[in-house]
């Protein structure tokens, strides 16, 4: 059994590498942190004196801000490094940038990068912890942790629960991380979307690849919508956004197929009027903003655990 006191990972790179026990530890700690959110004094002294670098080489709103708030709630100092204002634009490599950050006595790097595998690479060459905030189309582990935390809050156990993920599966790191997390937590995962964005090989990871959208939606306890990841597509995978909306968008007509208590989720950013209509995104079944809020406490748990493992000096790098 793993618990917070025996956590050994100084890096969080992927959900694939985590055990069910480890996901449970993160969620249990996040629950404890959530109880502190309502206090007037929200700040805990746990990471006082630590310096965390948010190294974001791809745009982000909620992940970057949630990590920053999480770190500050734990008492750490946070510095944001973005590509456009760093020496990356002068040709410095990611490796050199990360080594400079470590030499500046930082205690942790949180990395978002377009290259799949980049957090794993940094974790191998650095002594300080590295947390993956999204690497290309590979993984977005803290997104899946906050998504499954939100589902467990609402539904209790996910054992046997049916989760349908609808959208651009092919290019989605959120789909990959959630598939790993949901399978480890005992849920049944169905993937749906345009055939060109729905690789059949996902079936080998334990998902059902749906060809009938109506049954994929009507059976689900949770529907997670994904936007089209234009930034990762070198060519178009469907004729137009209006065609995507017509065939796959969650509008009032398709939402009527859902169970009345099915949860509607989206990792954001949402493209209103494409994968989801405003009436659904803002409707009573939507927990989209609760996902955002839960991003703080799940990331507090991750920062605390990785930093604790590093401090104990027995962190198992993912390298």
Task: Please give the residue ranges that form the binding site for ligand CP (CB under 6 A).
Answer: 60-64, 134, 140, 143, 267-269
> Which residue's CB is nearer to ligand CP, number 130 or number 226?
226
Burial level of 232, CB count in 10 A (0-12/13-18/19+)? middle
Answer yes or no: are the C-beta atoms of 202 and 169 closer than 8 Å.
yes
Give the H or E element holding residue 47. Answer: none
Alpha helices in 237-287, H assignment, sequence order: 241-248, 252-255, 278-281
Alpha carbon dihedral 71, 75, 77, 82, in 10-degree steps, equals 10
CB nearer to ligand CP: pick between 267 and 315: 267
Whether residue 110 contacts residue 131, with contact meaning beta carbons closer than 8 Å, is answered with yes
Of residues 64 and 113, the one with the C-beta less far from ligand CP? 64
Smaller CB distance to ligand CP: residue 130 or 133?
Answer: 133
Closest distance to ligand CP from the beta carbon of 20 (Å): 23
CB of residue 73 vs ligand CP: minimum separation in angstroms? 18
Under 8 Å between Cβ of 226 and 168: yes
Q: How far is the CB of 133 from ligand CP (least distance, A)?
A: 7
Smallest distance, Å, CB 174 to ligand CP? 7
> What span, in angstroms and rounded, lies between the C-alpha atoms of 25 and 38?
22
Give the nearest distance from C-beta 201 to ligand CP in angstroms: 24
For residues 93 and 300, what is the distance between their CA atoms, to the nearest angstrom? 29
- Compare residues 174 and 210 and give the one whose CB is closer to ligand CP: 174
Nearest distance, CB of residue 291 and ligand CP, angstroms: 8
- Least Å distance, CB 30 to ligand CP, is 17
Report the alpha-carbon distance of residue 228 to residue 28 in Å, rounded: 32
- If the CB atoms of residues 54 and 143 are measured against ligand CP, the closer one turns out to be 143
- Count other Cβ atoms within 10 Å, centred on residue 130: 27
For residue 105, the number of C-alpha atoms closer than 13 Å in the C-beta half-sphere is 3
What interhelical angle do 173-184 and 141-155 show, nearest 10? 50
Smallest separation, CB 62 to ligand CP (Å): 4
CB of 298 to ligand CP, least distance (A): 12
Q: Which is nearer to ligand CP, 135 or 188 (CB)?
A: 135
Minimal CB distance residue for ligand CP: 63
Give the residue with the Cβ less far from ligand CP, 2 or 63.
63
CA proximity to 282, closest of 245, 252, 244: 252
DSSP, residue by residue, 90-157: GT--HHHHHHHHHHTT-SEEEEEESSTTHHHHHHHH-SS-EEEEEETTTB-HHHHHHHHHHHHHHHS-
Considering beta carbons, is residue 131 or 210 the nearer one to ligand CP?
131
């Amino acid at each position: 059994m793993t618990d917070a006191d025996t956590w050994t990972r100084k890096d969080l790179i992927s959900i694939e590498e985590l055990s069910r026990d480890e996901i449970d530890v993160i969620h249990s700690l996040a629950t404890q942190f959530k109880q502190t959110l309502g206090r007037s004094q929200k700040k805990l002294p746990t990471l006082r004196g630590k310096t965390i670098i948010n190294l974001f080489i791809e745009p982000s709103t909620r992940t970057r801000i949630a990590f920053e708030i999480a770190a500050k709630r734990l008492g750490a100092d946070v510095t944001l490094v973005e590509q456009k204002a760093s020496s990356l634009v002068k040709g410095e490599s990611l490796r050199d940038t990360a080594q400079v950050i470590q030499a500046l006595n930082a205690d942790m790097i949180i990395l978002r990068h377009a290259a799949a595998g980049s957090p794993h690479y940094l974790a191998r060459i650095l002594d300080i912890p590295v947390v993956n905030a999204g690497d290309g189309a590979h993984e977005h582990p803290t997104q899946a942790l906050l998504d499954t935390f939100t589902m467990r809050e609402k539904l209790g156990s996910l054992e046997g629960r049916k989760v349908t993920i609808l959208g651009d599966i092919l290019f989605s790191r959120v789909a990959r991380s959630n598939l790993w997390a949901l399978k480890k937590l005992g849920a049944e995962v169905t993937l749906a979307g345009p055939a060109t964005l729905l690789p059949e090989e996902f079936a080998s990871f334990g998902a059902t690849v749906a060809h009938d959208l109506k049954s994929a939606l009507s059976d689900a306890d949770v529907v997670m919508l994904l936007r089209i990841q234009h930034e990762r597509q070198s060519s178009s995978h469907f004729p137009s956004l209006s065609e995507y909306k017509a065939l796959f968008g969650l509008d009032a007509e398709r939402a009527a197929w859902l169970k009345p208590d099915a949860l509607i989720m989206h990792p954001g950013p949402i493209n209103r009027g494409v994968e989801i209509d405003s009436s659904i995104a803002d409707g009573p079944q939507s927990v989209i903003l609760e996902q955002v809020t839960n991003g703080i406490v799940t990331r507090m748990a991750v920062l605390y655990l990785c930093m604790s493992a590093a401090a104990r000096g027995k962190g198992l790098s993912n390298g």
